[in-house]
Structures are given as C-alpha cells and as structure tokens.
Amino acid sequence: MAVLLGAGLALDAALAAVQDAAPDRRIQGFAAQLRAQLLEGAALSQAVALAARDLPPWYVAALAAAERSGEMAAVFDTLAEHLESALGERAQVTSALLYPAFVTVMAIAVCAILMVTVAPEIVGMFEVSGQPLPPLTLFVLGIVDGIAAYWPVIAVALGALVALVVAAARIPSWRAQRDRVLLRLPLVGRLMRMAAAAQYLRTLALVINSRVPLPQALEHAGEGLSVARHRAQARGAVAALDRGDSLARALGGLDFLHPVERQLLETGESSARLGPMSSRAAQLAESWLRTERKRLSVLLEPLSMIVVGAMVLVIVLAILLPIFDMQGMVGG
C-alpha cells in the first residue's frame, strides 16, 4: 500500500492491486473487505477498525489523522517501516536463540544414545567381573534409571510447568507478577526496559508524525506496551499532560525511558519539532536495543556451548572411566 499510494494510485485502485497481487488469501480477503466498506461510504480508518479488530488502536488513529491531513501515502510508508522494524526485531531474537537451541537438542540426543547403547554394555561387563562402578558412572546411571522409572511423573510435571507458563502469560494478574520478577533480574530487566522504550518511542513518533494530537499520541503509545507496570506509568503520563504538565514533566514517571531520550522529547517540545525529535529518540532507542541484544546473543552462544560441553563431558567420563578401570585390571 505504501508503494502504491506513493506512486500516485488512488486508494481504491491501490486496494484492488493488493487484492489481485497478494500471495496470501487472508490479505486478499482483507483488501476486499476494505474496498467493500469504502464503496459503502465508510472512511478507511473506520473500515480498518471493522475489518481488523486485532490491530492496535493507534493504527486506526494514524489512518484517521492521515485522512484529515491528506498525507495517506506518508502515513502508510511510516506504518510499513514500523511493521518492518518489528518483524526484524523478532527475526533477530529468533536467529539468536536458534543456534544454541539446536546445539542443546543435538547434545541431549547424543548423550541419550550413549547412555542407552554404550552404558548398559559397560554395566554388564562390570557385573560379570564383580568390580564396583566408578562413583560418577553410578551417579549418571542413577539419573538415567530415575528418568526411566518416573518418566510419566516427569512428563506430567513438565506439562504442568508449560501450562503454568502459558497461564502466566494470559492471566493479567499472573503476567504482572511474572513481569515484576523479570524486571528485577539484572540483564533481563534491562532488556525489557530497553524494549519498552523502543516500542513506546517508535509508536509515539509514528502517531505524532501522523498528526495525531499529543494526548492521544501518548495514550496510543502506552497501549502498545506489554508490561503492565509500564502501561500504568504511560497512563500516568497522559493524566499528567491532561492536568497541564509539560511533556518533559509528564514523561518523568516513565522509568523505562533513558534520560537522553527524555531530553530529546523535551527539546522537541520546546522547539516545536516534536515529530522529528520523537523519531530521533525512537531511532536511538532501537539502536541501543539492537546493540544490547547483539551483546547478549554473543554471550549466550558461548555460554550455551560451555553448558552443553560440560554435560557431554560428564556423560563421556561416566562411560570412559569404567573402561579405564577395566584396562587397569587387565594390565594388573
């Protein structure tokens, strides 16, 4: 849509082109719904609100502001950049976790094969010889025997843990408690605050540059936050602005914003350049977030390798120590 509108196509023609060319049937159906609503006389923002109820409210607000200002192409271009940025962040997180997860799964599979195929043979030889197994081997075999004996209980416990995690993500009170715990963790809490700042400022810049009034812009920016504590602080900022406080004073209660980001917004308010300065603050927050995620991913990969390597080492030693003992007995 951004490209088509930027090329000068009318809104209905752009929607028709999307409907014809989109590879996904859901997008085709969505474009068809919008065209039908427009033909009935509805505004685009109203049509989007009816056809896509799961979209955040600030999408609709940005489109409504674009309709009033006549800058539909520019707003669609900004929305497209916002979506691309969000998808890029998700891809970065997924790619950062994919390699450690793959290595961990492969290591567990190799260890399981060794314990199922090699370890029983060694145990059988020691039982014939009457010699005791090394303590490390007994420890590892005890773990394996425990898993084999109580795997139904372990499976139920793991299922309950997964259900608890899912419930903690869906039940508001549980999610708020989970977020409070995570925010106290040094690395995780810092990353969550940086992600909240990037999300808040990105949305704020988008709606402000779409000519949405500042109180509504702050409200919509707060709605996109995932942490309840941060959403409450954002609502407090809106209330402070409604009371007549300055933007800088209203944003003072947002503990996830960096002082430099607040300073940029304060400068934009005082110089009547809030749109460009909010965009600059959003770019700065996203840059810091990318750097932090890259730093954590660089730490995560070797850390996962160390943990997996230690686990494999224990398994291998548990298998090799009896072999060395047998060689010693034969040599003796």
What's the CATH number where 239 sits?
A: 1.20.81.30
Based on the fold, state whether residues 51 and 114 are members of the same structural domain: no
Beta-carbon contacts of 119 under 8 Å, excluding residues fewer than 6 positions away, are 137, 140, 141, 144, 318, 319
Distance CA 106, CA 96 (A): 17
Q: pLDDT by residue (tens digit) across 98-112?
A: 777 787 788 788 777
**Integer angstrom CA distances of residue 272 from 205, 225, 262, 267:** 14, 26, 15, 8
pLDDT at 233: 92
Please give the residue that has the higher pLDDT: either 290 or 85.
290
Task: Name the token pair of 163.
Answer: 């259900």
Based on the fold, state whether residues 80 and 196 are members of the same structural domain: yes
Beta-carbon contacts of 109 under 8 Å, excluding residues fewer than 6 positions away, are none
Based on the fold, state whether residues 8 and 140 are members of the same structural domain: no
Please report whether residue 288 resides in a domain. yes
Q: pLDDT by residue (tens digit) across 183-230?
A: 898 888 998 999 899 888 888 888 888 777 888 888 888 877 888 899
Task: Name the token pair of 186.
Answer: 């040094």
What's the domain count of the chain?
2
Structural domain that includes position 26: 2-55
Based on the fold, state whether residues 160 and 32 are members of the same structural domain: no
pLDDT at 157: 93
Based on the fold, state whether residues 125 and 16 are members of the same structural domain: no
Q: pLDDT by residue (tens digit) across 264-314?
A: 988 888 888 888 898 899 889 988 988 888 888 778 778 888 888 888 888
Based on the fold, state whether residues 160 and 101 are members of the same structural domain: yes
Q: pLDDT by residue (tens digit) across 105-134?
A: 887 887 777 777 777 777 777 766 667 778
What is the average per-residue pLDDT within 246-255?
Answer: 87
pLDDT bracket for residue 160 (50, 70, 90): very high
pLDDT bracket for residue 159 (50, 70, 90): very high
Distance CA 84, CA 164 (A): 32
Beta-carbon contacts of 195 under 8 Å, excluding residues fewer than 6 positions away, are 289
Based on the fold, state whether residues 204 and 263 are members of the same structural domain: yes
What is the average per-residue pLDDT within 152-171?
Answer: 86
Based on the fold, state whether residues 104 and 13 are members of the same structural domain: no
pLDDT at 156: 93
Please report whether residue 220 resides in a domain. yes
Based on the fold, state whether residues 30 and 124 are members of the same structural domain: no
Contact status, residue 290 vs residue 92, Cβ threshold 8 Å: yes
pLDDT at 236: 92
pLDDT at 172: 80
Please report whether residue 64 resides in a domain. no
Based on the fold, state whether residues 176 and 320 are members of the same structural domain: yes
Q: Does the predicted TM-score (pTM) go above 0.75?
A: no
